[in-house]
């Protein structure tokens, strides 16, 4: 009986310990949930009571007590004359303050508390605020905003320094180094001269924004170990600049380019084509027909005589002398002979 009672006590003890552990674990998990105190706004933007596409692309700023806590580009990722995704916070120190909105030099008529809002529209300090609050807020501007002019910083008079340069343990600059330069944040702001141990330089960054900034000096690319804080209209005549020991650069040998002779191309002989003899046509023999001699007939009662152009006395083509000449004579006398015969007949 006693053993069973002890067992019951032991089991109950373990049960209470387990329940207690689960409860503590749940409390720890509940405490681990982070709170993100942010406000995300969206809405339409009206100018003089109506939408105006001319404000598209302008930047609207959200401010609390003059401090910018968020900004958004109008019509970005949304329609014309509208804004979305204006995130404000987290900023615990500004919680409960009113948020104002401005475009250029114009301020919207509406404001909103940074945090939870009560039914009356005021800041609710004790209300739950674990996740970002999403709200829609339309904004009205009286007139079209004008761009805020960018302030121009005032001009700063230059500073003038002169003094000595020291390279390592040598109280003078090498003879070949004659120029010194001044830089602020890697920006060249002045230049001067060096001659032996002396230097002089004018530092002129231009505006008061450079006031108090550190100036580094360089000679032949080597930075000084000492620096100077820029002071407008400063004038110092005994300023000392320390440089590391000067090591002259190793001269780079000049490579002389040897001209490569241009290769003369080998002449390629062009093979002559095999000449094919052109056949010459053989002349065709032309035959001339020989004219047939025409007989001349003399009508005579006593004796008929027939003369031919190709008689034994020679042809008409015969030349002077011989039988041919006699034939020609006879032919020429034939008309005379005929006339005489006619007369005798009468």
pLDDT tens digits, residue range 114-146?
999 998 889 998 898 999 999 999 999 999 887
C-beta of residue 109 within 8 angstroms of C-beta of residue 18:
no
Higher pLDDT, 322 or 239: 239
DSSP code of 222? E
Q: How many helices (H) and strands (E) does the chain have?
A: 2, 20
C-beta of residue 274 within 8 angstroms of C-beta of residue 259:
no
What is the 3 state secondary structure string of 100-156?
EEEECCEECCCCEECCCECCCCCECCCCCCCCCEEEECCEEECCCCCCCCCCCCCEC
pTM of the entire structure? 0.39
What band does 162 get if pLDDT is binned at 50, 70 and 90?
very high
Q: Is the pLDDT of residue 302 over 50?
A: no
| Dist. CA 283–CA 17, nearest whole Å | 143
What sign has the CA pseudo-torsion 224, 226, 227, 231? negative
Higher pLDDT, 322 or 140: 140
Beta bridge partners of 139: 45
What is the rounded end-to-end Cα distance, in angstroms, of the chain? 216
| Dist. CA 240–CA 29, nearest whole Å | 65
Q: Provide the pLDDT for residue 64.
A: 95
Alpha helices in the chain (DSSP H): 2-32, 322-345
Q: Provide the pLDDT for residue 271.
A: 72
Residue with tokens 């009113």: 98
Task: Count CB neighbours of 125 within 10 A.
Answer: 12
Task: List the domains of the chain with CATH numbers.
Answer: 39-141 (2.60.40), 159-243 (2.60.40), 296-345 (no CATH)
What band does 14 get if pLDDT is binned at 50, 70 and 90?
low
Mean pLDDT of the chain: 81
What phi, psi does 65 have (nearest 5°)?
Answer: 55, 40
Instruction: Please enumerate in sequence order all residues whose Cβ is within 8 A of that of 180, keeping only pairs 6 or more positions apart, or say none.
Output: 165, 191, 192, 193, 194, 199, 201, 217, 218, 219, 241
Instruction: Please enumerate in sequence order all residues whose Cβ is within 8 A of that of 168, keeping only pairs 6 or more positions apart, or say none.
Output: 243, 244, 245, 246
Residue with tokens 């121009």: 152
Higher pLDDT, 46 or 315: 46
Q: Provide the pLDDT for residue 334.
A: 74
At 55-66, the pLDDT tens digits run 999 999 999 999
3-state secondary structure of 336: helix
Q: Provide the pLDDT for residue 55.
A: 92
| Dist. CA 236–CA 229, nearest whole Å | 12
What band does 316 get if pLDDT is binned at 50, 70 and 90?
very low
Summarize the chain as % helix, strand, coil (round to 5).
Answer: 20, 35, 50
Beta bridge partners of 101: 62
Least Cα distance to 132 among 35, 33, 38 occurs for 38
3-state secondary structure of 88: strand
What band does 100 get if pLDDT is binned at 50, 70 and 90?
very high
3-state secondary structure of 28: helix
| Dist. CA 293–CA 307, nearest whole Å | 10
Q: What percent of the chain has pLDDT over 90?
A: 50
DSSP code of 258? P
Q: Provide the pLDDT for residue 11.
A: 64
Q: Is the pLDDT of residue 266 over 70?
A: yes
Q: Is the pLDDT of residue 69 over 60?
A: yes
């Amino acid at each position: 009986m006693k053993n069973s009672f002890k067992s019951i006590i032991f089991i109950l003890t373990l049960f209470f310990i387990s329940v207690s552990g689960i409860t503590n674990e749940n409390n720890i998990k509940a405490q681990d949930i982070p709170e993100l105190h942010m406000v995300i706004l969206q809405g339409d933007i009206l100018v003089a009571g109506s939408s105006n596409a001319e404000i598209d692309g302008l930047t609207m700023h959200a401010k609390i007590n003059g401090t910018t806590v968020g900004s958004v580009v109008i019509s970005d990722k949304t329609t014309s004359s509208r804004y979305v995704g204006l995130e404000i916070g987290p900023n615990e120190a500004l919680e409960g303050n009113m948020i104002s909105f401005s475009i250029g030099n114009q301020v919207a008529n509406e404001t909103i508390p940074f945090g939870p809002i009560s039914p009356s529209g005021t800041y609710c300090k004790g209300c739950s605020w674990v996740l970002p609050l999403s709200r829609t807020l339309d904004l009205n501007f009286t007139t079209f905003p004008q761009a805020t002019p960018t302030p121009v910083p005032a001009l700063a008079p230059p500073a003038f320094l002169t003094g000595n340069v020291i390279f390592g343990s040598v109280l003078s600059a090498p003879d070949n180094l004659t120029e010194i330069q001044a830089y602020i944040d890697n920006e060249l702001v002045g230049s001067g001269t060096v001659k032996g141990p002396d230097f002089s330089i004018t530092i002129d960054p231009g505006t008061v924004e450079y006031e108090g900034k550190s100036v580094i000096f360089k000679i032949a690319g080597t930075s000084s170990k000492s620096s100077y804080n820029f002071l407008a209209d400063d004038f110092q005549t005994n300023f000392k600049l320390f440089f590391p020991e000067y090591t002259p650069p190793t001269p780079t040998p000049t490579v002389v380019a040897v001209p490569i002779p241009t290769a003369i191309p080998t002449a390629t002989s062009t093979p002559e084509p095999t000449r094919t003899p052109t056949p010459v046509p053989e002349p065709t023999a032309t035959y001339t027909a020989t004219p047939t001699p025409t007989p001349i007939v003399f009508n005579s009662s006593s004796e008929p005589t027939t003369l031919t152009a190709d008689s034994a006395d020679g042809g008409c083509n015969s030349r002077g002398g011989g039988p041919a000449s006699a034939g020609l004579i006879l032919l020429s006398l034939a008309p005379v002979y005929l006339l005489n015969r006619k007369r005798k007949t009468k």
